Amino acid sequence: MRHRSLVSTRKELWHFSGLEEAIFRNIGACKELAKTTRSAYGPHGQNKMVINHLEKLFVTNDAATILRELEVEHPAAKMLVMAAQQQEQECGDGTNFVLVFGGTLLESAEELLRMGLSVTEVIEGYELANKKAQEILPTLVVGEVKNMRSKEEVKSSVRTSVMSKQYGNEDFLADLIINACVSVLTSKISFNVDNVRVCKILGSGVLQSEVVQGMVFKRQVEGDVTKVNKAKIAIFSCPLDAMQTETKGTVLIKNAEELMSFSKGEENLMEQYIKGIVDAGVNVIVTGGKVGDLAQHYCNKYKVLVVRLTSKWDLRRLCKAVGATALPKITTPRTEECGHCDNVYVDEIGETSVVVFKQDKDENPITTIIIRGSSENIMDDIERAVDDGVNTFKALTKDGRLIPGAGATEIELAKQITSLGESLPGLEQYAVKKFAESLESVPRALAENAGMKATDILSRLYAAHQEGKQTSGVDIEDASSVMDAKECNIVDLFVSKSWGMKFATTAACTVLRVDQIIMAKPAGGPKAKENKDWDED
């Protein structure tokens, strides 16, 4: 039933209520959104070409990026997007799982509602099934990462995470990510994703990517000095230039001598500043603003390497990497305010000049992964894969439990939850069974995206799980058999799967709980133009 009531000359209220108008409309919007990202799921997922409102092109199968750039308008679909974003913040990976599973739950709910179940019964069934799933999950754990410094222990989960974005390069990229993460891992609690930086340099191929202990900046040095070993670094957040006076003054010069001696004082003062800095043992200056010609001249004279960084974030991170304090004005730094770096030098990677701050020790506050690639789009996508890998490493520092991947966990949960549904007396048993059926959407998506017959694969998986093989999953290389996810080292994070199911179920139930949509729209003609120069008097 649709009502239209005029509330004032300025607002009109639109009501959409009941099953047909509100709930089915909302479910339809969420289904469309889930359908978009379902084909991007798994190692053989298709890429999406997204052009955002700024005309920037994204070619990716990363659900988080697709959603961020799509700018979803529909309020119900937005709830599903919010659930996916929450998953991104909580675990850094698994956004597509939330969308695919949440979308399938709503699709199943539509069937149940058309069958005649009430919304309350569907929601009750879903929440009951989710609760059961959270109880079963800990029993499916196949291993736990106890030592975060052991690269072999960590590799399987990081590799699985990277595999869904960069299939074929997962081993190489996983090694890069683990090397970078382990070297910044100072203590188990305080792993910060920001400490692994990414620098994208066009040219060559993915396999030429490398890890640098320290920081890399895509820019040139300012002066003549291009290399310093055993550097002592002073970092200034202000320009390296003579300070301007606050008041304007007029100087009257009467003869040539006065003209010659006019700028002498300023020159002496600048030399005094630079000499003071050099006498403190500093041989590298990093500045956050422009470098004046006079300052540059004296830096060249005293053999000081000068780097200019325009980003205050880069400046802060460099301070962290070399252990320095950023000074707000040009003064002689104290010993504890200076940073230290084993090598500071200019290098050329491809055709790009870079300034490298490299430490020789294996443990550093910050490391940089230099990504190479033949186009900007490819490098962006590798960066997203690296981001997922680093987030997986972070999630492992919180909870190291691992569960089988490749859809094995979902099939086992579906099998056990179906049994639960059959034992229930009430109408919610239908919703519980549909929850179990919705879990099949994950292995189904994996199989379909690999070009296989999903129904055949699912029946094989169920057969294997009935025999007690809990770790049997989809083999995307061979359609004729199933594989043991544990043996093949394809594992998912327990924490990622657990949160993903919670977020998807909550989002689906929230969408189902909405029975009325009320929209306030402007009514009547266009607004009158405002006159800025209007005077009330």
Question: In this predicted model, what pLDDT tens digit does every residue of 98-157 receive, in sequence order?
Answer: 888 888 888 888 888 888 888 888 888 888 889 888 888 888 888 887 877 777 878 888
pLDDT score, position 18: 60
Token pair 């070619």: residue: 59
> What is the longest distance spanned by two Cα atoms in the chain?
107
Helices and strands (DSSP H and E) totals, the chain: 18, 19
* In the chain, ranges of CATH 1.10.560.10 domains: 19-142+404-513
CATH topology of domain 19-142+404-513: GROEL; domain 1 (1.10.560)
Residue that wins the pLDDT comparison between 269 and 196 = 196
Q: Are strands 352-358 and 339-349 parallel, antiparallel or unpaired?
A: antiparallel
Among candidates 104, 115, 99, 106, which has minimal Cα distance to 61?
99
Q: Residue 438 phi/psi, 5° resolution? A: -65, -30
N- to C-terminal Cα separation, the chain:
50
User: In Å, what is the CA distance from 117 to each residue of 105, 109, 343, 432, 439?
Assistant: 15, 9, 70, 13, 21
Whether residue 185 contacts residue 191, with contact meaning beta carbons closer than 8 Å, is answered with yes
Least confident of 7-21, 217-231, 364-378: 7-21
Evaluate whether the domain defined by 217-353 bears CATH number 3.40.1390.40: no
The span from the CA of 105 to the CA of 406, in Å, is 20
Token pair 């491809």: residue: 350
Question: In this predicted model, what pLDDT tens digit does every residue of 439-479 receive, in sequence order?
Answer: 888 888 888 888 888 888 888 888 888 887 777 888 777 77
User: In Å, what is the CA distance from 32 to each residue of 75, 77, 279?
Assistant: 13, 9, 67
Token pair 């099998």: residue: 415
- The predicted model scores a pTM of 0.80
Question: In this predicted model, what pLDDT tens digit does every residue of 388-438 receive, in sequence order?
Answer: 888 888 888 888 788 888 888 888 888 888 888 888 888 878 888 888 888
Among candidates 449, 441, 491, 355, which has minimal Cα distance to 108?
441
In the predicted model, is pLDDT for residue 274 greater than 70?
yes
Whether residue 472 contacts residue 482, with contact meaning beta carbons closer than 8 Å, is answered with yes
Residue 285, H or E segment: strand 284-287
Least confident of 78-87, 184-193, 471-480: 184-193
* In the chain, ranges of CATH 3.50.7.10 domains: 217-353
pLDDT score, position 4: 45
Q: Residue 226 phi/psi, 5° resolution? A: -120, -5
